[in-house]
């Protein structure tokens, strides 16, 4: 069986789409602004180191490479500190998201069951109509056969 969900008339809901990359970036930047700041410092130090290499200034090159190492260390420290600081908040958010996802799943499942029940009822009604149509046709054919028998007996 395929891992894709069964098709439904509820698939067009915007709740099933993920957030865009930009909105995720801005959300994460607001949550932990020190990490992009450290990455920017690292890039700046690398850019300055490249410029000093082209200029041939070995002392400045070493200074900027040390600055790059410090900036990378700051970024890693910010990541670790943010992980510890936001650990409980993220666990609570995941728990809330799990409850919301479970509730949405139950609602979707209930809607899907309701849709299946409607389809089942329609199928039963269609079968009943086909059965009545077949009975009427048999009755009409029997009446036609009886009329034909009577006409044959009358001729005799």
Residue 4 included in any domain = no
Sequence-separated contacts (24+) of 105-109 with Cβ below 8 Å: 108/8, 108/10
Residue 15 included in any domain = no
Residue 96 included in any domain = yes
Helix (H) or strand (E) holding 32: none
Q: How many domains does the chain have?
A: 1
Residue 80 included in any domain = yes
**Residue 55: domain span:** 20-155
Residue 87 included in any domain = yes
- 112 CB contacts (<8 Å, ≥6 apart)? 6, 8, 10
Residue 106 included in any domain = yes
List the chain pLDDT tens, one digit each, 156 residues: 455 555 555 555 554 456 788 888 888 888 888 999 999 999 999 999 999 999 999 999 999 999 999 999 999 999 999 888 888 888 888 888 899 989 999 999 999 999 999 999 999 999 999 999 999 999 888 888 888 777 777 676
**What is the rounded distance in angstroms from the CA atom of residue 61 to the CA atom of residue 45?**
10
Question: SS3 of 6, please?
Answer: coil
Residue 116 included in any domain = yes
Residue 85 included in any domain = yes
């Amino acid at each position: 069986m395929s891992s894709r969900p069964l098709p439904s008339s509820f698939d067009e809901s915007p709740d099933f789409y993920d957030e865009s990359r930009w909105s995720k970036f801005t959300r994460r930047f607001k949550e932990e602004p020190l990490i992009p700041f450290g990455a920017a410092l690292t890039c700046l130090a690398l850019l300055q180191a490249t410029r000093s290499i082209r200029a041939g200034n070995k002392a400045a090159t070493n200074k900027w490479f040390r600055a790059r190492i410090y900036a990378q260390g700051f970024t890693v420290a910010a990541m670790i500190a943010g992980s510890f600081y936001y650990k409980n908040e993220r666990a609570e958010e995941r728990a809330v998201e799990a409850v919301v996802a479970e509730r949405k799943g139950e609602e979707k499942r209930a809607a899907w069951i309701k849709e299946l029940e409607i389809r089942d009822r329609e199928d039963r009604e269609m079968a009943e109509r086909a059965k009545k149509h077949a009975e009427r046709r048999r009755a009409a054919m029997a009446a036609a056969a009886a009329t034909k028998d009577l006409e044959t007996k009358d001729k005799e």
